[in-house]
Amino acid sequence: MKILVADDDAISRRMMARLLENSGYEVVTADNGREAVDMLATPNGPRLALIDWMMPELDGPGVCRCVRSRHVGSYVYITLLTSKQGGDDVVAGLEAGADDYLIKPCNPEELKARLRTGIRILDLEDKLVEAREDMRFRATRDSLTLLWNRASIIADFERELTRARREHGVVSILICDLDHFKQINDVYGHQAGDEVLQQAASRFLRSVRSYDQVGRYGGEEFLILLSGCDSGQAFQRAEDIRSAFASCAFETMHGPLSVTVSVGIVSSSEWTADLTAKQLLHEADLALYRAKASGRNCVMAAHPIAHEPSPDCDTKHV
């Protein structure tokens, strides 16, 4: 565990550092309060700190206030070292953000015991953060594919649509549906179907940019958000995805399976600004339906006018 010792007295600083190093700590030091704050603010900085009350530039309570005001990064457990023994002084230090205090000169065994208490508290905080992040992940991710779940990807689309309209940009969405997926479940079983869905998720992610967003829209349907892509670019991306599926079989417990995908596209810039995200999703869904009706393994774009270009369909793998 890394620990910061901040003290303007060089002899006291060296003695404390030697004691802690002999106890297995990785020690870094500072000789004034401002340097201590800077060191505690660095990435992977110390999470334990022994701060002398009286220091130049910034005293111990001032260090505590600066650290607590950041509200970023992992929690730092701060122990103030002070020769002040008055109750008012102790209260002032704790209210400034210190977690504990020791009267100088401190007993080495008491110091080590107090630090072990700090480590237990930091461990508890880490477990709570881990549990919170796990809950957040479970709440926003599809458990099978680990993509964004339906609620999250729709919420992301609503935000992206609002941002695109505010900044006079464009966002395109692709609704992708695995062709004849029910037959895979019926013939080979749901385990094989799950394998296909997981591999499909990976194939979608490999086919888009790192900042594009992919979610499981429901069942065998997936929703992809393409920020900054107009209709032509979105159509080409959809064709790349369709080709990636059609050109390479999926490996399952029953051997390789040919799986194709149909795609419906909507680009926000082609539609009036009064259309909601829900309405645009409906238009993309209608385009997907037309792609299915045109023979599957096909890309179809939705346009606000009646006449659309002929879909680029490939039925060799249907």
Same domain, 174 and 285: yes
| pTM of the complete model | 0.71
pLDDT value of position 83: 79
Domain at 79, CATH number: 3.40.50.2300
The pLDDT value given to residue 305 = 67
Identify the domain boundary among 85, 106, 139: 139
SS (HEC) of the chain: CEEEEECCCHHHHHHHHHHHHHCCCEEEEECCHHHHHHHHCCCCCCCEEEEECCCCCCCHHHHHHHHHHHCCCCCCEEEEEECCCCHHHHHHHHHCCCCEEEECCCCHHHHHHHHHHHHHHHHHHHHHHHHHHHHHHHHHECCCCCCECHHHHHHHHHHHHHHHHHCCCCEEEEEEEECCHHHHHHHHCHHHHHHHHHHHHHHHHHHCCCCCEEEEEECCEEEEEEECCCHHHHHHHHHHHHHHHHCCCEEECCEEECCCEEEEEEEHHHCCCCCCHHHHHHHHHHHHHHHHHCCCCEEEECCCCCCCCCCEECCCCC
* Number of domains present in the structure of the chain: 2
Same domain, 275 and 195: yes
Q: Do the domain assignments include residue 222?
A: yes
pLDDT value at residue 106: 84
- At 315 the pLDDT is 41
> For residue 158, what is the domain's CATH number?
3.30.70.270
Catalytic residue among 220, 251, 270, 283: 220
Tell me, yes or no, whether 178 and 243 share the same domain. yes
Same domain flag for 193 and 280 = yes
pLDDT of residue 144: 96
- Would residue 220 show up in a list of annotated catalytic residues for this protein? yes
**pLDDT per residue rounded down to tens, the chain (318 residues):** 899 999 998 988 899 999 999 999 999 999 999 999 999 988 888 999 999 988 988 999 999 999 998 867 789 999 999 876 666 777 888 899 999 989 888 889 999 999 999 999 999 999 998 999 999 999 999 999 999 999 999 999 999 999 999 999 999 999 999 999 999 999 999 999 999 999 999 999 999 999 999 999 999 999 999 999 999 999 999 999 999 999 999 999 999 999 999 999 999 999 999 899 999 999 999 999 999 999 999 999 999 864 444 445 544 333
> What is the span of the domain harbouring residue 266?
150-313
**pLDDT at residue 87, as a whole number:** 67
